[in-house]
Structure 1
């Protein structure tokens, strides 16, 4: 098991240079790691363990297991209600005829693949941003934080950084716009994932979490477990074969799906996780809109980032910069030591005032 999950550790490594924010990392780090871990867990249970066991007389158990796994199993929605053990033997199980409504469960073969595909989808905005960012921030802060680099080298690097910033002043909006596009893609993706999982589970996922929460408040003797409805542990399967005289014989089998014990827990967690990530990402977009529209908000956040710098220097820089320039300065602050960042802000302020030659 440790070997299976060992490959996920690489995704948890922290980047040497920060080019995004914590909400962004919720998507491409936390969510991707969670989904890949779930996919590996289901794969281990599905292809290494025993995902289905079917009981029927007259058909070899291994044949019945394979047949029902490939052709899906079903439950009876009308048999979900009632006291288990008295009215029905198992939720969704009981005698039936061809006229009874049947709900087929075909998703379980695809759960591991869907989870992995979702992980890829959550990584796409990160991939786009890394491609568009192209290592710019890493090049800008190169050697400035390294303790073994000579002070003369650091001073030279800092001067080059200031020269770059002055030369490209008011020219970083396109860089910033690409980051905002990726933030929007994160939000669109998590909403799309909720919708796609809902389709995958037969329109049950959208209300799955709330149904699980309300389940504990219902009458214990008559309540219907929503997890048993979406992920039944006991299902039915009908096997057909030709008899000795050529007549088609029907064998009504009972199947146990231990894999659904894992699946139901995974999707309960995913429901709450997706809702939390969607809400936080939506709030982050509101915050981003406020930043773009409000110079005062940018000034406040820049002051919070450059706590050691003079207020006059921050005010001057904020008045001269567009949102894209402000964004680059904030990113620099995340990747530089506070004292070096203070010196950068001070010297940049002097250059913007024209006190030193360009």
Structure 2
């Protein structure tokens, strides 16, 4: 069974394989973590790897059919865990408190976790960023044509997303949208940024929330599982059987033969818990790792995208590299180029290009966009006024 055939059951492989409309932290969430969970799902649900999930030690008088029945009924009706040095509880309520009812659902919960993470950044930036990123692998002539095509595409997109209506309320919304994502809209220049930050917030919440979901699913204080493992390793203690994933359990069941009802208590071994124990240890560390990186990534993106001075500083850096930031007029128009032409969404797309390609390509795009902007009638008119004032 190939990975492509498995992944194709819930998402197209092209979608899962990755897009250029996000950064590597996003791909860590929706791509790599999804693949990890799917691989674990295949492992625990395939007898080729784990064999029979349960074996029960039955009385000698049991026939083969009765042994199969015992294994099946103990698998579907849950078992309960009792340490060897403890007596078997006599009350049903005490047995229910020790009952283990998760192991049948491990493949389903892993697949559910994979589906929770299987998504993309949610905004169709693929055309712009993919074209820009692919210029690294084509000939110089094709590269120049592609960059010009990307610039024309971005210019058309930026112009179409501009608000051409006027009014006090609209100007107020545009002013607030420059500094705050509470006011969001396709015409305000912060739509992509707001959606992208919302998706990052969901990724962070999803990774943290899955730790609590697993805690409820396993019912064994799973949130501190990794700390206990690290504590054992730091103290040099031997790896012992975890009470969360016991390999030897007890099972009570009833066999009815005509008017006779026979109660049996048998001891069962759960080979699948040998895999579950290691898998969920890895999952704990992985989710903590993803949660920390997603939280840090969300804070960094919030810091660089929300504050206006970071956007202007990012743009000025590339304008200086291209020798386009010399005169006082250039300095004034650079702010307008950032705030009125590119706005938050334009700077955001350029940052994504830099994340998926390199800063050299970003520098070329900004240079072409700057020249495109300077040739617009409004810029020429402002330039002419500035020259007339200086002559006077």
TM-score norm. by structure 1 comes to 0.78
1:23-64: CA deviations, max 9, x gaps? 101111110010000000001148972111000214332121
1:293/1:179 Cα in 2 relative to 1: closer, same or farther (>3 Å)? Answer: closer
Aligned equivalents of 2:158 and 2:117: distance in 1?
36
Q: Which protein has the larger Cα radius of gyration, Structure 1 or Structure 2?
A: 2
Deviations 1:155-196 (A, max 9, x none): 752552363265257654112211111111111211221111
Greater share of residues in helix: 2
Q: Which residue of 1 aligns with 2:56?
A: 54
Q: Does structure 2 retain, via aligned residues, the 8 Å contact 1:308–1:339? A: no
State the shift of 1:342 in Å: 3.0
TM-score (norm 2): 0.72
1:254 aligned residue (263, 267, 282): 267
Aligned equivalents of 2:256, 2:143: Cα separation in 1: 87
| Aligned pairs (5 A) from 1:73-84 | 73-76=79-82, 79=83
CA distance in 1, matches of 2:290, 2:134: 35
The alpha-carbon distance between structure 1 residues 155 and 120, as it changes in their structure 2 partners (threshold 3 A), is closer
Whole-Å separation in 2 of the counterparts to 1:257 and 1:264: 11
Alpha-carbon distance in structure 1 between the residues aligned to 2:149 and 2:125: 19
2:266 is the counterpart of 1:271 = no
Corresponding residue of 1:68: 74
Question: Aligned-pair distance for 1:116?
Answer: 0.5
Is the deviation greater in 200-209 or in 338-347? Answer: 338-347
Provide closer, same or farther for how the CA distance between residues 48 and 11 of structure 1 changes in structure 2, counting only shifts above 3 A. farther
After TM superposition, give the deviation of residue 117 of structure 1 in Å. 0.8
The whole-number CA distance in structure 2 between the counterparts of 1:189 and 1:7 is 26
State the alpha-carbon separation in 2 of the partners of residues 175 and 48 from structure 1.
46
State the match for 1:82 in structure 2.
Answer: none
**Contact 1:53/1:255 (<8 A) preserved:** yes
Separation (CA, whole Å) in 2 of partners of 1:240 and 1:305: 77
Say whether 1:240 aligns with 2:254: yes
User: 1:108 maps to what in 2?
Assistant: 103
Which is worse superposed, 105-114 or 303-312? Answer: 303-312
Q: Say if 2:124 is the partner of 1:133.
A: yes
After alignment, is 326-335 or 265-274 more displaced? 326-335
Give the counterpart of 1:96 among 73, 89, 92: 89
Query: Of 41, 44, 59, which residue of structure 1 is paired with 2:43?
Result: 41
Q: How many residues align?
A: 334
Whether the 8 Å CA contact 2:55–2:269 is kept in 1: the answer is yes
Equivalent in 275, 294, 308 of residue 307 of structure 2: 294
Q: Check conservation: 2:304, 2:311, Cα contact below 8 A.
A: yes
Gaps (5+ residues) in structure 1? Answer: 80-87
Q: 1:159 to 1:35 in 2, by over 3 A?
A: closer
Secondary structure of residue in 1 paired with 2:265: strand
The offset of 1:98, in angstroms, is: 2.2
**Cα distance in 1 between the residues matched to 2:239 and 2:351:** 52
Moved more, 316-325 or 296-305: 296-305
**Which residue of 273, 294, 305 maps to 1:281?**
294
Deviations 1:279-313 (A, max 9, x none): 11111121122123323333455577889544738
Determine whether 1:160 maps to 2:155. Answer: no
User: 1:196-235 residue pairs with structure 2 within 5 A?
Assistant: 196-216=213-233, 225=240, 228-235=242-249
Structure 2 counterpart of 1:84: none
What is the SS of the residue equivalent to 2:99?
Answer: strand
Alignment correspondent of 1:85: none
What is the RMSD of the two structures over their aligned residues, measured on CA atoms? 3.7
* Distance (whole Å) between structure 2 residues aligned to residue 197 and residue 110 of structure 1: 12
Q: 1:206 to 1:214 in 2, by over 3 A?
A: same
Task: Report the counterpart of residue 325 of structure 1 in structure 2.
Answer: 346
